[in-house]
Amino acid sequence: MVETDFGFREKLMKVTMTVSVITAVVCMAVMLSYAATKTIITVDENPATVDASLETERTGARWTIDFSKLNKPKEDTLTVFLPMHINVILSDTNNESDVKVDCRYDTKEVTVTVKNVRDSFFLSNPPKGNYKYIDSVEGVSDGTKTILTFKLNECCECISKASEKGLELKMVPVSEETLPIVMIDPGHGGEQVGVKAGDISEKDVALKIALEVEKLCEDKPYKVLLTRRDDDTIYTQGRIYAIENTEASFYVGIHVASNITDTKAYGMQASYNPDFYHNGLENVDFADRVLRECAIAASDKANGLYPANEDEIILKALNIPATIFYAGHLTNEDEARLLSSEEYLQRIAKGIVSALDKTIQ
Mean pLDDT by 10 residues, the chain (361 residues): 56 66 59 45 45 37 81 85 82 70 94 90 90 92 91 95 91 95 96 92 97 96 95 94 96 95 94 79 89 94 92 92 96 95 97 96 77
In this structure, what are the phi and psi dihedrals at residue 62, rounded to the nearest 5 degrees? Answer: -75, 135
φ, ψ at 45 (rounded to 5°): -90, 0
One-letter amino acid identity for 321? P
In single-letter form, the type of residue at position 13 comes to M
How far apart, in whole angstroms, are the C-alpha atoms of residue 123 and residue 121? Answer: 5
Phi and psi at 50, nearest 5°, equal: -90, 145
Residue 59's pLDDT is what?
46
The CATH T-level fold of domain 177-359 is Aminopeptidase (3.40.630)
Q: Label each residue of 186-251 as H, E or C.
A: ECCECCECCCEECCEEHHHHHHHHHHHHHHHCCCCCCEEEECCCCCCCCCHHHHHHHHHHHCCCEE
Predicted TM-score of the model (pTM): 0.81
The pLDDT of residue 66 is 87
| Cα–Cα distance measured from residue 345 to residue 209, given in angstroms and rounded to the nearest whole number | 6
Q: Count other Cβ atoms within 10 Å, centred on residue 343.
A: 8
Helix, strand or coil, per DSSP, at residue 253: strand
Beta-carbon count within 10 A of 221 CB: 11
Tell me the per-residue pLDDT of 55-99, one tens digit each, with 9 for 90 and over: 333 345 788 888 877 777 778 999 999 998 888 776 545 567 889
Give the Cα separation of 307 and 304 in Å (integer): 10
Q: By three-state DSSP, how is residue 352 classified?
A: helix
**The amino acid at 135:** D
Question: How far is residue 343's CA from residue 349's CA, in Å, rounded to a whole number?
Answer: 10
Would you list the domain boundaries of the chain? 40-172, 177-359
Answer positive or negative: Cα dihedral of 237, 289, 231, 42: negative
Residue 225 to residues 102, 109, 239, 301, 331: CA-CA distances in angstroms? 12, 14, 12, 28, 29
CA dihedral sign, ordered 109, 220, 285, 299:
negative
Instruction: Quote the crossing angle between the two packed helices 202-216 and 342-359, to the nearest 10°.
Output: 50
Q: In sequence order, what DSSP letters do the residues of 127-144 get, joined into one string?
A: -EE--TTEEEEEEEE-SS
pLDDT recorded at residue 2: 46
What pLDDT sits at residue 34? 43
pLDDT at 320: 92
Q: Are 204 and 163 in contact (CB under 8 A)?
A: no
* HSE value, Cβ hemisphere, 13 Å, CA-based, for 263: 6
- SS3 track for 22-80: HHHHHHHHHHHHHHHCCCEEEEECCHHHCCHHHHCCCCCCEEEEECCCCCCCCCCCEEE
Structural contact between residues 283 and 322, judged by C-beta atoms closer than 8 angstroms: yes
